[in-house]
Structure 1
Amino acid sequence: MDNKDFDVIIIGGSYAGISAGMALGRALRNVLIIDSGKPCNIKTPHSHNFITQDGKTPKEISTLAKRQVQKYETIKFYNKLAISGIKTKNGFEIITQSGDKFIAKKLIFATGIKDIMSDIKGFTECWGISIIHCPYCHGYEYSNDKTGILANGDIAFEIGKLINNWTKDLTVFTNGKSTLTIEQTEKLQKHNIKIIENEIDYFEHKKGQIKNIVFKDKTSKKIKALYARPKFEQHCEIPKQLGCELTEQNYLKIDPFQKTTENGIFACGDNTNMMRSVSYAVAMGGIAGAMANREIIEEEF
């Protein structure tokens, strides 16, 4: 790539990043989108709760989005992994795994998060397919089915209240002694939500579609979907390298205009909040792109 100097570099070319790119392309900004091609929803069979795109595969949505953004001549895509960044006198320098260096006045991180998979056999294979995180994204498809929640304590109670709206055949699997309070236990049982404390051995599945939860005592429980909220880490370490602060929940700290705690750096998408949905990522990306452009205008006018 001949040009190494851009108005804005966007790291992450999924929904939030491409949306930010469109806003900046329409603002006539020279933009580089660096993307490693590994979105966190790569295994998800269908995307939902995004009007006009409901039921399409994540790949279909992102492919169309990229095709539309590529029509803007000032937008360039670079399919590599960004590994480090430094502050410069006039902005930032980003270095890729292949050793290429690019500079920009502003940065937008749309890098997502990396889920830390449970070590229970079968979890990774089912994650994003039948072990799911969001009822608004996937709950309708499993409504009134035999559904489980893999959680304990306060989290199990809160998810139980939520998922009870989608199915009345619901079981909480604490995978060991329950830490639910007496009051929480009684309330769940009042709504016919069962609690099983047996330790899980593995998930029996076929191509990611869960069939049974098999316990270490050799008993099993038939299930069609399981909600889980695994721990996560930031997918990209560059924001922390550049001094961006994280929240207590390990998300990038931003203001209402997608600005991080470091001047000139914006963030959008799953790396900033727990609302892991395509539609929300797209909206945040649009704001980040517009605000980065606005900041350049204010500095140059």
Structure 2
Amino acid sequence: MNSTAHFEIIVVGGSYAGLSAAMALGRSLRSVLLIDSGLPCNRYTPHAHNFITHDGVKPSNISEQAKSQVLNYPSVTFIDDVAIQGVKSDPGFRIFTKKGKEFTAKKLIFATGIKDTMPDIYNFSSCWGISVVHCPYCHGYEIRHKKTAIISNGEQAMHLASLVLNLTKDLVILTSGKANFNTDQILKLTKNNITLIEKEVAGIEHENGYIKNVVFKDNSKEDFHAAYASLPFTQSSDIPDLLGCQLNEQGLIKVDGMQKTTVDGVFACGDNSLRARSIANAVSTGNMAGAMANMELAQEEF
């Protein structure tokens, strides 16, 4: 074990939210450690959208530029590592990493993201983030006016359908089993010419991640050019939970309007605490977390 290094604030996770938090802190002359292993959840997505000044840019280009700017602030230190354990200590916290390092800080910011749970559909993961997407705001314009599937059922399918219908009128809901809609919902779907297919989805035929056909378990096929899906997820890091940070009913870290968790001195930002997943939202919440962590320190020191 290496000797312990001390920082005012440790930011766990160095993608968009973590980099944004670190920039706010670096500009406030705080000694910051940024821990990240370079595996953002959107690493397979070819282009980022709905983020002004960076619309259509490859996500990794955005994070690389952001990292270079953040590390221009001399009080910010970056390490390529994974935080695997965290404990409370006096007067703050202690973080242990996969590479056997130990760090302490007065405050923690978790920008650790979430891990999507892929369904048991052949080739689904090969298309995820490319032509099978989660968000019409992030991806919908690029797949507008194309034959589109919604791989979902019930309330979530209705939510997506109401948003996607404005982008394409050629829309089919794949319930992958018995449809779960009430009478009013069926009437709305019928009114908007949205059809249902209740056959179970077995796989996807694609070319370089772009859908060609959806294959059903009865070996029939239906051609599509794009699909939406809402996936279950787990937290990428269990450290916030082990520290006592509460999760909400969706499995996200519970935060207030200042990105403070239910544990004093611990903040969370980005996808781990925000249902609206996008780079723009991650950057916004990261900036808030950094500013509020700095404010707490400033008030404690004043």
The residue aligned with 2:105 is 104
2:155 alignment partner AA: D
Partner residue, 2:65 = 64
Shift, 1:177, TM fit = 0.9
Task: Name the counterpart of 1:201.
Answer: 202
TM-score, normalising length from structure 2?
0.98
Q: Partner letter of residue 81 of structure 2?
A: K
Partner of residue 191, structure 1: 192
The CA deviation at 1:3 is: 7.3
Alignment match, 1:134: 135
Query: 2 CA distance for matches of 1:84 and 1:2?
Result: 16
Q: Give the match for residue 124 of structure 1.
A: 125
Identity of aligned residues (%): 53
Moved over 4 A (4+): none
The one-letter amino acid of 2:244's match is G
Q: Which amino acid aligns with 1:13?
A: G
Query: Which runs of 5 or more structure 2 residues have no equivalent in the other structure?
Result: none
How far apart, in 1, do the equivalents of 2:219 and 2:20 lie?
A: 49
**By how many angstroms is 1:182 displaced?**
2.2
* Distance in 2 separating the partners of 1:258 and 1:153: 31
Amino acid at match of 2:128: W
- Pair 1:268-2:269 in alignment: yes
Distance 2:291 2:156 in 1: 36
Distance (whole Å) between structure 1 residues aligned to residue 289 and residue 216 of structure 2: 46
Hey, what's the Cα distance between the residues in 1 that align with 2:258 and 2:202? 45
Which residue matches 1:10? 11
CA distance in 2, matches of 1:195, 1:188: 9
What one-letter code is carried by the residue in structure 2 that aligns with 1:208?
A: G
Q: Deviations over 1:64-116 (max 9, x none)?
A: 00000110000000100100000001100000012110000000000000000
CA drift at 1:158: 1.6
- Aligned Cα RMSD in Å? 1.0
Residue 2 of structure 1, CA deviation: 7.8
* SS state at 1:270 partner: helix
Q: Which amino acid aligns with 2:249?
A: E
User: Is the contact made by 2:48 and 2:58 (CA closer than 8 Å) also made in structure 1?
Assistant: yes
Match of 2:56 in 1: 55
Question: Please, which runs of 5 or more residues in structure 1 have no aligned partner?
Answer: none
- Secondary structure of 1:68 counterpart: helix
Question: Residue 7 of structure 2 aligns to which amino acid in structure 1?
Answer: F
Matching residue of 1:27: 28
Shift of 1:217: 1.8
1:3-22 Cα distance to aligned partner (Å, 9 max, x none): 71000000000000000000
CA distance in 2, matches of 1:236, 1:88: 19
TM-superposed deviation, 1:273:
1.4
Moved more, 287-296 or 214-223: 214-223
Where does 1:1-301 land on structure 2 (aligned, <5 Å)?
Answer: 4-301=5-302
Shift of 1:250: 0.4
Aligned-residue offset at 1:167:
0.4
